[in-house]
């Protein structure tokens, strides 16, 4: 049974998992469910999620390579312009990777409103989102927001 405590143990990233879940509940054929998922864009976003994970890994390799280049340039005073450029590039790439990583590690237990026009804050990047977030930033942010909501409701 699905609970808040075990939601992270469920497999994800494949439309066929959703097809199996839905097909067990009601009558449409798996082919019909697959078409619905495709036309509603679920397949696309599951693919984008996988591509983001691959991009994160690619960026991580590039960051390591840039780090090695920086170490070799650090004491070469004749190439300080190149060192400063690569240092800035390394920092910017690291920040981008950390932001994508935080997004990929965001919680699964998100409830969308029934009305597509009423997403509210659920699909907005918070103003507090840092330049270099920890991968579990959204967990801490959501916890803090729910505590604030409880206090304001008292």
> Which pLDDT belongs to residue 106?
85
Is residue 2 included in any domain, yes or no?
no
pLDDT tens readout for residues 72-131:
998 888 999 999 999 999 999 999 999 999 988 888 777 776 665 676 777 788 888 899
pLDDT band at 61 (very low <50, low <70, confident <90, very high): very high
Q: Is residue 19 part of a domain?
A: yes
pLDDT at 93: 94
Between 48 and 27, the more confident residue is: 48
Quote the pLDDT of residue 66: 93
Residues 6+ apart with CB under 8 A from 6: none
23 with 71, same domain: the answer is no
Q: Tell me which of 19 and 82 has the higher pLDDT.
A: 82
Does residue 4 surpass a pLDDT of 70? no
Question: Does 47 map to a domain?
Answer: no
| 5 has a pLDDT exceeding 80 | no
Res 1: pLDDT: 47
Q: Which residues 6+ apart lie within 8 Å of 128 measured at CB?
A: 141
E strands along the chain, which residues? none
Number of domains in the chain: 2
| Residue 13 lies in domain | 9-40
Instruction: Supply the pTM of this predicted model.
Output: 0.72
Which residues does 126 contact at the CB level (< 8 Å), separation at least 6? 141
Residues 18 and 75 occupy one common structural domain: no
Average pLDDT, the chain: 83
Q: Is the pLDDT of residue 59 over 90?
A: yes
Report the distance separating Cα 100 and Cα 90, nearest Å: 16
Same domain assignment for residues 79 and 17 = no
Residues 96, 20 share a domain: no
**137 and 73 inside one domain:** yes
Q: Which residue has the higher pLDDT, 19 or 101?
A: 101
Task: Please indicate, yes or no, whether residues 101 and 152 belong to a single structural domain of this protein.
Answer: yes
Euclidean distance between CA atoms 143 and 1, whole angstroms: 24
Sign, CA dihedral 71-72-77-79, equals: negative
Q: In terms of domains, do 145 and 83 share one?
A: yes
């Amino acid at each position: 049974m699905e609970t808040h405590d075990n939601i992270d143990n469920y497999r994800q990233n494949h439309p066929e998992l959703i097809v199996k879940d839905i097909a067990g509940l009601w009558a449409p054929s798996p082919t019909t469910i697959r078409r619905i998922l495709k036309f509603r864009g679920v397949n696309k976003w599951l693919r984008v999620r996988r591509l983001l994970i691959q991009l994160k890994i690619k960026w991580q390799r590039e960051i390591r390579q840039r780090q090695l280049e920086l170490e070799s340039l650090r004491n070469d005073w004749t190439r300080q312009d190149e060192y400063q450029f690569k240092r800035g590039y390394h920092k910017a790439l690291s920040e981008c990777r950390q932001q994508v990583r935080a997004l990929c590690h965001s919680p699964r237990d998100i409830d969308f409103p029934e009305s597509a026009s009423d997403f509210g804050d659920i699909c907005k990047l918070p103003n507090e989102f840092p330049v270099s977030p920890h991968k579990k930033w959204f967990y801490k942010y959501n916890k803090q927001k729910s505590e604030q909501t409880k206090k304001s409701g008292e």
